[in-house]
Amino acid sequence: MNLERFTIDSIKQGLMSKQFSDVELLTEYFKRINKYDMHIKSFITLCEEESLKKAKEVDEKIAKGEKLGFLEGVPVSIKDNICTNTIKTTCASKMLNDFIPPYDASVVKKLKESGAVIVGKTNMDEFAMGSSTENSSFFKTKNPWDIDRVPGGSSGGAASSTAAGFVPLAYGSDTGGSIRQPASFCGVVGIKPTYGLVSRYGLIAFGSSLDQIGPLAGTVKDCALGLEAVQGSDTKDSTSIKEEYCINYLNTIEDGIKGLKIGIPKEFLSEDLNKEIKSKVSESIKALEKLGVEIEEFSLPITETGLSAYYIVSSAEASSNLGRYDGVRYGYRTDKFEDYKELILKTRTEGFGDEAKRRIMIGTYVLSSGYYDAYYKKAMIYRQKVKKLFKDAFSKYDVIVSPTSPILPFKIGEKTNNPLDMYLADTLTVNVNLAGIPALSMPCGFSKSKLPIGIQFMADHFNEEKIFRTAYTLEQELKVDNVPQMKLEVK
């Protein structure tokens, strides 16, 4: 089985035509995981026994001719901040090292109802705070294209598990680019849906007004199928939307893009952008123009100021959300303490990693008396400006196109001691979350050093259909055979 090239459709067709059973399929996937993941380290927890049991049930349903679910028998991985009943959910933190949720997140419930097989929980930056998956309390995840480099973050485990051919579909969360940036670094497709399109119930919160669960996959079609499987309203999440916004994306994905108007923010193609990234994205824009779209450059002056507003808002929400980890209710508790105050202090000091502590401190500071108006209030006002700027842009353009990341995947440890430099890697993604709009990253080529380069498509709220249609059309146009060979093993 050529697992790297398996799509959801090829799996469904293979199962129905009895080319292979689901047990055989899952066995092959686990063979690949057990052979290569010791080098990549995508997974925190593997569910081999449970997966094979579920695969057996799928085979029995097929044998009996029973109705199959939307993703029946398809292996998926789940980021380790999405709650899974009976399966450990750690947020890659010592604070939740032994936490086993008593319930499934709504996304997980929908996946189980669709027949998907959960292969395991993927590594991430602790509590989704980071851009490299180096902030995990357990281990660093490697980029399958070059294991000396990071896979991006915070959904680095999800992206690498898809890129390495461990699963055809993965689910991550995106607070400021945490699906799109690792998708770009690992050469896969990943979408951050419109805020509210996918339920956040069961997603362990980082920034509640910014977080959104979304899929990562090897192709645009599979990514669309992955979103369709989990979208929809949820009574357990008051921010989730009505079902009327949920559509079948594959109905129009092959309709072409002739007549669409695409905007290119000139600030997103600045001189600071890596030259190889700029070249590949520019080539893709020219390809889109040849396919019949109208291209126009315009000004969207939100890159640097939006980054500042994002880190104020997200850190403030993180400070509030992580206040529950005090050693009293659940999670890690320090062994030695004399009173309640020392219990909380030592538990949080020992349980949180450096990046989580840094963001808690920033968030606590901007929310404190005397600084709230100067920082948090101004950031929230600027957030409304970002929303308006995007809304005005989408009154003129169907889709906005930009690079996903201003830099190529960097080496492990290269930016660890410079948090500000790390934060700047999110410049092109964070404003999407401030505005709550959807955005997708897909590969558009490779650098001379054989590293993936991603292009980003943005659209107005609930216009995922336009994004998928544009991305799919470009994907078909850019198809090439000379894809570099991955380096999954250490010599």
Which residues are catalytic, by number? 79, 154, 178
Euclidean distance between CA atoms 391 and 174, whole angstroms: 21
CA distance 44 to 36: 14
Cβ atoms of 171 and 114 within 8 Å: the answer is no
Task: Give CA–CA dist 376/369, Å, rounded.
Answer: 11
Taking the CA atoms of residue 265, residue 269, residue 272 and residue 273 in that order, the dihedral angle to the nearest 10 degrees is 130
Residues 6+ apart with CB under 8 A from 373: none
Q: How far is Cα 189 from Cα 187, in angstroms, rounded to an integer?
A: 7
> Contact at 8 Å (CB) between 116 and 123?
no
Which pair of structure tokens corresponds to residue 249? 């994306």
CA distance 331 to 248: 40
Q: What are phi and psi of 175, to 5 degrees?
A: -105, -35
d(CA 408, CA 450) in angstroms, rounded, equals 10
Which of 134, 14, 44 is CA-nearest to residue 413?
Answer: 134
Backbone angles phi, psi at 231, to 5 degrees: -75, 160
Give φ, ψ of 294 to 5 degrees: -95, 125
Buried b (16+ CB within 10 A) or exposed e, 135-159: bbbbebbbbbbbbebbbbbbbbbbb
Taking a C-beta distance cutoff of 8 angstroms, is the pair 264, 298 a contact?
yes
